[in-house]
């Protein structure tokens, strides 16, 4: 494969130029030719019966690969460091690469090494402004539950006894206000080595305190307990590992993100939340993200990742590059609608944002994505208008992401309102934590499939606006049993749109044709209509019904629907 020297370029997100130390060196990332075969690693890891064993095997395998293949390169870089030409050498194993600050005179020499695939300049990115503007919110009373929490029925899951207990979320963000009252008892115990519940990868120290507010808000949606007045956490029994990847100016870079993912895997996070990303980065950066996300999947870990906030900026960042990376990486589970153009998989569940009326927000980025421009993958081709080259359908699911109330980093008891797919992403992460508290051995494929198949869909097919639909935490947890995932067979039915204005479509979860008698029952238990569903149309006309709540009875199943004209 031809070696290349890459310059990282992105659109829309502010760039600060090359990361530079006082002596004028630039930060680079060196990707080695030897990279893991994620599919093969997955197959080997499948032999292990528990997630702990699987994770340990994958982490040790990746470390061993990096140690063996990086030895010569590290010897060379260490020699250059002695000569004052290189600083801050940081080997990575989740992706077989090495980052460092290097004198520009060395770049060509490094890129021409036989063991090097690519070298690229590492640039810093600004946290998108539309996610960082916060509006103060009043403290609620002791009975208030945030609207996004009730919208996805998380509060009903708590009544079943599942709150996310014993689940650890790796929160990769701007850090967290560690003294906020609503997060006390909700942090990872990092012991003497990590006394502040995580690590700051931007400053490389043990203090991951939030200097921006974004991460505190996200943490509150995952596990805020509500002791200050408003229950903001979807999974109030879960804990977070605070992995700060933005500096005081809300800037970060891709290698910092990958370092944080690596730390989370090594230190026992059960899932990741990444409410961050950048549109259309250079192919070398996408390669690094894809490799990291594939290896995270092999380790048995799933990630909730935002789709992005630039739907309204398509003149600048059009489809198929409108989805942020790494949210453009493929999911663990490939939906039936994706199979016409199937490709690889990774740990990423990509999350879009809806408002409180279940309408897609104006900013929620639009798919599909494509990976044909990344040499090691070349999958998910996209051609506009094609019925086969449909790209990678993004997002996978949606959650509330507009006017979301959560924790304020300026106060130990305060709340604030924020918008963004960043706010929808922790709602999904919290729901995953609820699922894992019911069954800790769920695999990423099972988690993704359950979320997608139990989501409330606005259309018959998975699409590039809503994905498979808006998540329903109660339905997702009910689809989990103590051994894994309940079988969903062709007798299990879904109806859409719901609420309906006049027509209900009915299908099985596997899309099989349905021909059956039906009854419609009102909220008083009275049968007010009956008929037969045709195998050709698969629909029920409810246009004559007044606004209200009804049950559709098919066989022995009752499906609730709402008429709202």
301-330 confidence digits (pLDDT tens): 999 999 999 999 999 999 999 999 999 999
- Give me the residue spans of the domains in the chain: 4-126, 129-485, 493-563
- Domains 129-485 and 493-563 fall in the same CATH topology: no
pLDDT recorded at residue 402: 96
Name the CATH architecture for the domain at 493-563.
Sandwich (2.60)
d(Cα 463, Cα 164) in Å, to the nearest integer?
30
Is-above-0.95 flag for pTM? no
Any residues with CB less than 8 A from the CB of 401 and at least 6 apart, and which?
352, 353, 354, 355, 361, 364, 419, 420, 421, 422, 423, 424, 427
Three-state secondary structure string covering 189-254: CECCCECCCEEECCCCECCCECCCCHHHHHHHHHHCCCCCCEECCCCCCCEEEEEECCCCCCEECH
CATH for the stretch 129-485: 3.40.50.200
What tokens appear for 6 in the block?
Answer: 């890459």
pLDDT recorded at residue 45: 86
188-206 confidence digits (pLDDT tens): 999 999 999 999 999 999 9
d(Cα 98, Cα 100) in Å, to the nearest integer?
7
CA dihedral sign of residues 305, 306, 307, 310: negative
Pick the closest to residue 515 from 496, 534, 531 (CA basis): 534
pLDDT recorded at residue 250: 83
CB atoms inside a 10 Å sphere around CB 418: 26
Give me the residues of the chain with pLDDT under 70, please.
1-23, 128-135, 139-143, 482-492, 509-513, 523-525, 556
What tokens appear for 26 in the block?
Answer: 């630039």
pLDDT recorded at residue 488: 38
pLDDT recorded at residue 20: 42
Any residues with CB less than 8 A from the CB of 450 and at least 6 apart, and which?
435, 442, 476, 479, 480, 485
């Amino acid at each position: 494969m031809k070696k290349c020297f890459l310059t990282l370029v992105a659109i829309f997100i502010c760039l600060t130029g090359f990361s530079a130390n006082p002596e004028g060196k630039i930060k680079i990332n060196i990707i080695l030719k030897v990279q893991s075969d994620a599919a093969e690693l997955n197959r080997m890891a499948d032999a292990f019966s528990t997630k702990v064993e699987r994770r340990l095997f994958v982490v040790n395998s990746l470390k061993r690969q990096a140690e063996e293949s990086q030895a010569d390169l590290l010897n060379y870089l260490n020699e250059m460091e002695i000569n004052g030409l290189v600083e801050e050498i940081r080997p990575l194993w989740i992706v077989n690469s090495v980052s460092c600050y290097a004198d520009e005179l060395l770049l060509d020499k490094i890129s021409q090494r036989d063991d090097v695939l690519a070298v690229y300049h590492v640039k810093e990115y600004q946290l998108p402004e539309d996610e960082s503007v916060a509006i103060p919110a009043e403290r609620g009373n002791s009975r208030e539950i945030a609207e996004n929490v009730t919208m996805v029925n998380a509060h009903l899951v708590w009544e079943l006894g599942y709150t996310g207990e014993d689940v650890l979320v790796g929160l990769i963000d701007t850090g967290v206000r560690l003294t906020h009252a609503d997060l006390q008892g909700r942090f990872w115990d990092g012991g003497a080595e990590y006394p502040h519940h995580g690590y700051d990868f931007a400053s490389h120290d043990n203090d991951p305190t939030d200097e921006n507010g974004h991460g505190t808000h996200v943490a509150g949606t995952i596990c805020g307990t509500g002791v200050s007045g408003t229950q903001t956490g979807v999974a109030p029994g879960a804990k977070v590992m605070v992995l700060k990847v933005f500096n005081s100016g809300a800037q970060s870079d891709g290698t910092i993100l990958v370092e944080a993912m690596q730390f989370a895997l090594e230190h026992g996070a059960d899932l990741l939340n990444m409410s961050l990303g950048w549109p259309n980065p250079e192919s070398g950066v996408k390669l690094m993200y894809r490799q990291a996300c594939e290896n995270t999947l092999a380790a048995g870990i799933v990630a909730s990742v935002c789709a992005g906030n630039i739907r309204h900026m398509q003149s600048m960042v059009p489809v198929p590059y409108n989805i942020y990376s790494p949210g453009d990486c493929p999911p663990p589970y490939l939906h039936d609608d994706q199979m016409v153009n199937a490709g690889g998989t990774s740990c990423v569940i990509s999350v879009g944002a809806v408002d409180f009326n279940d309408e897609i927000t104006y900013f929620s980025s639009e798919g599909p994505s494509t990976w044909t421009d990344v040499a090691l993958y070349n999958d998910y081709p996209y051609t506009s208008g094609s019925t086969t080259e449909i790209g990678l359908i993004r997002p996978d699911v949606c959650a509330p992401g507009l006017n979301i109330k959560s924790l304020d980093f300026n106060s130990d008891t305060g709340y604030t309102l924020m918008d963004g797919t960043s706010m929808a992403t922790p709602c999904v992460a919290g729901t995953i934590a609820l699922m894992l508290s019911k069954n800790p051995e769920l695999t990423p494929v099972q988690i993704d499939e359950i979320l997608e198949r139990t989501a409330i869909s606005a259309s018959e097919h998975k699409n590039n606006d809503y994905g498979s639909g808006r998540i329903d935490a109660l339905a997702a947890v009910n689809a989990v049993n103590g051994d894994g995932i309940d079988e969903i067979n062709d007798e299990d039915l879904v109806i859409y749109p719901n609420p309906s204005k006049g027509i209900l479509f009915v299908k099985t979860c596997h899309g099989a044709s349905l021909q059956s008698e039906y009854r419609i029952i009102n909220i008083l238990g009275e049968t007010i209509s009956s008929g037969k569903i045709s195998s050709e149309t698969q629909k029920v006309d409810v246009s004559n019904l007044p606004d209200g709540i009804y049950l559709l009875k098919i066989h022995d199943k009752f499906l609730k629907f709402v008429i709202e004209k």
